[in-house]
Structure 1
Amino acid sequence: MNNKALQLHEEDDIAVALKNLSQGEMVVLGNFELELKEEIPAKHKFAMRNLAKGQNVIMYGEIVGQATKEISKGAAITRDNIIHESSKFSIRESNYVWKAPAGLERTFLGYKREDGQVGTANYWLVFPLVFCENKNIETLKEAFEIALGYRKPNPFLNHVLANLQNQDSISEKTPFIEFESPFENVDGIRFITHQLGCGGTRQDAQTLCHLLAGYVNNPNIAGATVLSLGCQNAEFQIFQDRLNEIQKPYSKPVYLCEQQHFGTTEAFLKAAIEKTIIGLKEANEVSRTPQPISKLVIGLECGGSDGFSGISANPTLGRVSDLVIASGGSAILSEFPELFGAEQNLIDRCLSIDLAEKFAKLMSSYNERAKSVGSGFDMNPSPGNIKDGLITDAMKSLGAAKKGGLAPISDVLDYTEYVKKPGLNLLCTPGNDVESTTGLAGSGANLILFSTGLGTPTGNPICPVIKVSSNTQVKSRMSDIIDFDTGEIITGSKSVNKMGDELMDFVIEVASGSRKAKADLNSNFDFIPWKRGVSL
C-alpha cells in the first residue's frame, strides 16, 4: 500500500489521503502522478484528474457525488465543490458468484437453547410494556444490585432480598442478608426502560411488542419478567402472540406482573422479585458447552464513521461476516440509509428476484418518507462524518456496505422480523447507532461487531457489542471503549484478511465468555426502539 494515499478502484476519480499531505507535495498512485494544489488532511480526498462542473465523481468504482464546479487535478474534494449523487439501481437477473473462504472447524462455548439457537450469554431480562413502569424497573434494578452487593440496601426492600438462593417465597419478617450471586451460570440480569407503550399510535405499540418478543426469543435470553400497568396500548397479548409465532414449538419462561392487578406498589414489586428469582433458578440450569461457528449470528453496525472506516474497519467486519457465513452461520447488515448508493451491488447479490424487490421497496419507501418531511437519505452524514472525510451519503454508504463482505444475500428483513436463514441478511433499520443495534438484537443477533472511526460508547443490554476502530489514534485516545484496532491496515503492515482472521479469534473469545466487550464492562446498555418515523 502507498503510504501517502490510496486509490480504492482503478476507475476512481479521487483518492484518499492516508496521512496529512502538504500543498505542493508529489503523489504517485499507479499511472497517476500529481502535485497537490492544497493541503489534504488525512482521511480526506483529492482529485486524481481534472473534473468538469456537473461531472459525476467516482469512488469505490461507483458514483459518490457530482462536481458543482470545475475541480483541478490535485485539488481537495470538499462540500464546496461536490454534492451527493449516486448510481441508479434496477431489479435484474444476476449470476453473482461468490468464492467463499474456507469454513472454520472451530467452536465457541455457548448456551444451547431448546429451539437450537445458541447464546453467547445467559441473561434474565426484565422490561416494561409501557413507560409508566420505568420507575418500577429502576427500583427492581436497584434491589438486585443491592442483593449482589453493588449498592447499600434500601430499607423498604430489605425483607424481600434475603436468602434468595433458598426461598421460593419471601416473608416480610426475613432479615436482609448480603451475598454473592448463587447463580453461577447466569451472566446477569438485564433491565430495559423505554418511552413507548401508550400515547403514540397503535402501530408503534405493536412494533414495540414485536421488538420485545424478539428480545425474549434472542438466544442470549433465558427468560423474562414483564411489567405491565394493565391499560396501555402495548398489550401483553400482542407481545405473547408474536412470541408464540416466532418461538414455536418451544417456549421460554415469561412472567407477567400487572400493577393494576396487585394494587399496592409494594405487593407488585414483591411479586416481580419473586418471579425473577424463580426465573434465575431456571436460567442457572443451563451451562456453556462447545458449539460450532454456524450458531453465531453476527450483527454488523457502524457509528461515528470516518474517512478510513470503509478502508480498514468495515472490510475487516466483512471478512468476519464471510468467515461466519462460510461456516454455516448468519450475519445481519442493517442501517438502510447507509446503503444508499450501494443498492445495485446488494440487489445483484440477492438469491432471488423477490428478495431484490423487497429490498428495493423498503429502501425507496423509507427514503420517500424522509423526503416528505424535507429530509432524505442524502442528508445522512453527520457533522462528525463530514469533518473526517465522509462528505456525501454515497461515499459513506459504499464504505459502510463493506461490513457485509462478499457473500450472497439470503434474506431481507423488515424491522422486528426475526432472522430465519443462514447467510447474509439485510435488516431495515435507521442509521442511528442505538436504534439500529436495538433492532439487530431484536432480530436475533447474538453478538454485534461495531466499527467506528471517531469513537462511541454505544452498547446493548442483551448482546455483546465489540467496538472496532478504523485507526490507531482513536484506539489510543479512547482505549476504554475500543476493543479492537484495524489501524495497521492503514499503515500497510497488515492485510484486511489477516486483520479479519484476528478479529474472528477475538469474536470467539467474547462469544465464549472468556473476554468481555468494553461496552459490557462499562454498562453501556442502550435501548431505543424505532418508531418507524423519519430517523436517519
Structure 2
Amino acid sequence: MEYQDLTPVLVLNDSDNVAIARRMLTQGTVLGGSIVAKSAIPAGHKVSRRSIQSGEPILRYGQIIGFATKDIEPGFHVHLHNMALGEFDKDYAFCAAARQTDYLDTPATFLGIRRSDGRAATRNYVGILSSVNCSSHVANVVAEVFKRNPFTGADPLAEFPNVDGVVALTHKTGCGMTGGEPLNVLRRTLGGYARHANFSHVIVLGLGCEVNQIGGLLEDQRLAGRVRSMDIQTMGGARKTVAAAVEFVRDVLTESNQVTRQPIPASELIIGLQCGGSDGASGVTANPALGAASDILVRHRGTVILSETPETFGAEHLLTRRAVSREVGEKLIALMEWWDAYFKREGAIMNDNRSPGNMAGGISTIVEKSLGAMAKGGTTNLVDVVKYGETVKGPGLVFMDTPGYDPVSATGQVAGGANLICFTTGRGSVFGCKPAPSIKLASNTPMHERMKDDMDINCGEILSGGESVEECGKRIFDLILRVASGERTKSEEFDFGADEFAPWVLGATV
C-alpha cells in the first residue's frame, strides 16, 4: 500500500472505523467529507471515522483492537478514555494463508567473515562471558584493558584493525536460582553467545561456587574445546584472574585479526526483529517497512526472527494462518496459553504490557500494539516456532518465544544466532546488542530529527506521503547489506551493546 494522499488522516483499511492522524490535528480540522476533528488529536492517535456505539468493536488494520466503552461520534479522539480491551473469538485457520515463497535465483551478497566451521559473521569480537553475577566485575575489568580511551585517543587494539572489540557480557543471575528451566534458559543463552559466529574467541569467567557451574555449562552446551574458562576461586582471586584473562585475550588477538571480508550470500543473514518505545505511527511506518525488508530478505533465502510473545497476543491468529504446518501453528498457540497462565499466576493481565510511552504515543490496547508489532515479520510463511535462545534455522520467518522487554528479547534472538538486529522505535530507543550490530528505524520524522545521532533510518516520510512502505523497505534492506558488510550503525558509534545483555530470568530467586 502506498500513502501518497496528503489528507490529515490515514485510513489503513476500508473496514476501519478509526483513522490515524498524520500530524497534530487542531479542533475543527476537516478530516474528509463532513467530518471535522471535535478536539485536538495528537499525531499518531486515532480519530473516529463514523459513529461507534458503546460495546461496538474498534477496528484498525481491518482487525479488532478493542471495544468502545461509550458512544463515540465521528471526529472524536479514540483512546483510553473511550475504549478498552475485550474478549473476542479468533479463527486460527491453520495454514490457510501459507503460500509458496517466490525465491530469487541469484541472492544478493554482503561482505562478511567466513569462520573456519563455515558460518557467516557480520562482526569480529573477542567475548568475555560471566557464568554468574559474582564474576561480572572481573569480566568488565578485563574488557576495560582493551577499550579505546575517548579522551586521549589511546587504542589498545590499534594494531588489530580487523577486531571490532573486546566485550564483556555480564548479568545478574547464575546463583541463588533454582535448577530446571531457569538454569536451562541461562545456559542455553550463554551457550548461544559462546558459539556465536560474531565472536572469534570466547572466555567464560566464574566465581567457583555458583549454581551455574562452568563445568556443567560446558558439558550441557557442548562447549568443551570451543571456549577458555576460569573461575576466580581456583585462580587465586580477582587480580590473578584478571591477569590470566588479559593474557588470554592478548594471545588470541593476532589470530582474531587474521580475517578478510568476502562476498557471502544474503541467505546467511539471520535478522532479529525488535520494536521498542513504540507510538501510534510505528504500526503504519517503521514496522510495515521493516516487514517489507523482511520479505525481501526471505526471498533471498535469509531468515528473520519475530519475537516478543506478549506483544503478539490478540494477533496470533494472523500468524497461524501463515504457518507452514498445523504443528508449527499449534506451537505458537501453546506459547500464548503458557503466557496467559504466567500472567494470571503473577496477578497481572496481558493488557498491562504497554509502557506509558506506548500509551502516550497513541497505542490503546495490547492487541493494537500486537497488530502493529507483528508487521515487522512481513507477509511470508511462518516456518518454525522455537524456545528462548534456541538455535534458529531458516530460511524464512521464525517465531522465538521471548518477553516483550527489548533487551531480554534481543538477547534471546542473538543467542539463537541473529547476526544483526533491526529495531523500530517511535518514542526513541537507544539500544545496542553486541556482538550483533543494531539498526535503528524511526517511525516519525520529528523524533528522527530530534535524535539523529541515534537513528539510522527515518521511516516517517511514509506518513507525509514522500515514500511508500515498499520504497522504505528497500532502503532498509540495502542498509542491512551495508551494515552486515561492516558499516557501523549509530549505536555502534556510541559503543552501545554490552550493558544491554539481559538473559531471561525465570523462577524463584532463593
The question of a shared fold, defined as TM-score above 0.5 by the shorter chain, is answered with yes
User: What is the match of residue 130 of structure 2?
Assistant: 128
Matched, 1:488 2:461: yes
User: What is the match of residue 110 of structure 1?
Assistant: 112
2:363 corresponds, among 390, 394, 397, to: 390
How far the C-alpha of 1:111 sits from its partner, in A, is 1.1
Secondary structure of 1:261's counterpart equals: helix
User: What is the match of residue 62 of structure 1?
Assistant: 63
User: What is the match of residue 204 of structure 1?
Assistant: 182
Q: Distance in 2 between matches of 1:34 and 1:386?
A: 25
Secondary structure of 1:231's counterpart equals: coil
Secondary structure of 1:286's counterpart equals: coil
Secondary structure of 1:219's counterpart equals: coil
How far the C-alpha of 1:490 sits from its partner, in A, is 0.6
Q: Distance in 2 between matches of 1:97 and 1:265?
A: 55
Counterparts of 1:73-472 in structure 2 under 5 Å? 73-85=74-86, 87-98=88-99, 103=104, 105-145=107-147, 180-202=157-179, 203-244=181-222, 253-472=226-445
Assess if the C-alpha contact under 8 Å between 2:94 and 2:329 holds in 1.
no
Secondary structure of 2:339's counterpart equals: helix
How far the C-alpha of 1:374 sits from its partner, in A, is 2.0
How far the C-alpha of 1:492 sits from its partner, in A, is 0.6
User: What is the match of residue 156 of structure 1?
Assistant: none
Q: Distance in 2 between matches of 1:472 and 1:133?
A: 43
User: What is the match of residue 520 of structure 1?
Assistant: 492
Q: Distance in 2 between matches of 1:264 and 1:39?
A: 63
Assess if the C-alpha contact under 8 Å between 2:438 and 2:491 holds in 1.
yes
> Comparing 105-114 with 420-429, which one deviates more in the overlay?
105-114
Secondary structure of 1:111's counterpart equals: strand
The higher-RCO structure (CA 8 Å, 6+ apart) is 2
Distance 1:99-1:420 versus aligned 2 partners, 3 A rule: closer
How far the C-alpha of 1:83 sits from its partner, in A, is 0.3
2:475 corresponds, among 491, 502, 505, to: 502
Secondary structure of 1:226's counterpart equals: strand
Q: Distance in 2 between matches of 1:522 and 1:252?
A: 34
Q: Distance in 1 between matches of 2:386 and 2:480?
A: 24
How far the C-alpha of 1:466 sits from its partner, in A, is 0.5
Q: Distance in 2 between matches of 1:516 and 1:269?
A: 30
Superposition TM-score, scaled by structure 2 size: 0.93
How far the C-alpha of 1:302 sits from its partner, in A, is 0.2
Assess if the C-alpha contact under 8 Å between 2:312 and 2:370 holds in 1.
yes
Assess if the C-alpha contact under 8 Å between 1:86 and 1:394 holds in 2.
no
Matched, 1:17 2:31: no
User: What is the match of residue 37 of structure 2?
Assistant: 36
Distance 1:151-1:276 versus aligned 2 partners, 3 A rule: farther
How far the C-alpha of 1:181 sits from its partner, in A, is 3.2
Q: Could you give the per-residue CA deviations for residues 31-73 of structure 1, whole angstroms, max 9, x where no partner exists?
A: x652222222211111112111111111111110011111112
Q: Which amino acid aligns with 2:84?
A: I
Secondary structure of 1:209's counterpart equals: helix
Q: Which amino acid aligns with 2:395?
A: P
Assess if the C-alpha contact under 8 Å between 1:98 and 1:406 holds in 2.
no
Assess if the C-alpha contact under 8 Å between 2:98 and 2:324 holds in 1.
no
How far the C-alpha of 1:395 sits from its partner, in A, is 0.9
Secondary structure of 1:532's counterpart equals: coil
Assess if the C-alpha contact under 8 Å between 2:13 and 2:60 holds in 1.
yes
Q: Which amino acid aligns with 1:232?
A: E
How far the C-alpha of 1:486 sits from its partner, in A, is 0.7
User: What is the match of residue 50 of structure 2?
Assistant: 49
Assess if the C-alpha contact under 8 Å between 1:142 and 1:151 holds in 2.
no
Distance 1:87-1:351 versus aligned 2 partners, 3 A rule: farther
How far the C-alpha of 1:264 sits from its partner, in A, is 3.5
Which blocks of at least 5 consecutive residues in structure 1 are unaligned?
154-176
Assess if the C-alpha contact under 8 Å between 2:93 and 2:317 holds in 1.
no
Q: Distance in 2 between matches of 1:319 and 1:91?
A: 24
Distance 1:87-1:419 versus aligned 2 partners, 3 A rule: farther
Q: Distance in 2 between matches of 1:178 and 1:110?
A: 24
Assess if the C-alpha contact under 8 Å between 1:368 and 1:376 holds in 2.
no
How far the C-alpha of 1:152 sits from its partner, in A, is 8.2
Assess if the C-alpha contact under 8 Å between 2:54 and 2:72 holds in 1.
yes
> Comparing 368-377 with 468-477, which one deviates more in the overlay?
368-377
Distance 1:243-1:481 versus aligned 2 partners, 3 A rule: same
Assess if the C-alpha contact under 8 Å between 2:315 and 2:370 holds in 1.
yes
Q: Distance in 2 between matches of 1:179 and 1:414?
A: 39
How far the C-alpha of 1:16 sits from its partner, in A, is 0.5
Q: Which amino acid aligns with 1:52?
A: Q
Distance 1:152-1:500 versus aligned 2 partners, 3 A rule: closer
> Comparing 38-47 with 440-449, which one deviates more in the overlay?
38-47
Assess if the C-alpha contact under 8 Å between 1:221 and 1:462 holds in 2.
yes
Distance 1:230-1:437 versus aligned 2 partners, 3 A rule: same
Secondary structure of 2:146's counterpart equals: helix
Q: Which amino acid aligns with 1:127?
A: L
Assess if the C-alpha contact under 8 Å between 1:149 and 1:180 holds in 2.
no
Q: Could you give the per-residue CA deviations for residues 273-322 of structure 1, whole angstroms, max 9, x where no partner exists?
A: 22222332332233211101101101100000011001110011101111
Q: Distance in 2 between matches of 1:415 and 1:97?
A: 25
How far the C-alpha of 1:101 sits from its partner, in A, is 6.2
Q: Distance in 1 between matches of 2:112 and 2:173?
A: 33
User: What is the match of residue 163 of structure 1?
Assistant: none
Larger radius of gyration: 1
Distance 1:344-1:473 versus aligned 2 partners, 3 A rule: same
Assess if the C-alpha contact under 8 Å between 2:18 and 2:47 holds in 1.
yes
How far the C-alpha of 1:266 sits from its partner, in A, is 2.9
Superposition TM-score, scaled by structure 1 size: 0.89
User: What is the match of residue 27 of structure 1?
Assistant: 31
Which blocks of at least 5 consecutive residues in structure 2 are unaligned?
none
Q: Could you give the per-residue CA deviations for residues 414-470 of structure 1, whole angstroms, max 9, x where no partner exists?
A: 112110221100011111111111111111110000000110111112110100000
Q: Could you give the per-residue CA deviations for residues 459-501 of structure 1, whole angstroms, max 9, x where no partner exists?
A: 1121101000001111110111111101111111111111111
- Count, aligned residues: 500
Q: Could you give the per-residue CA deviations for residues 193-226 of structure 1, whole angstroms, max 9, x where no partner exists?
A: 1111001222433321110111122221112011
Secondary structure of 1:426's counterpart equals: strand
Distance 1:411-1:116 versus aligned 2 partners, 3 A rule: farther
Q: Which amino acid aligns with 1:85?
A: G
Secondary structure of 1:434's counterpart equals: helix
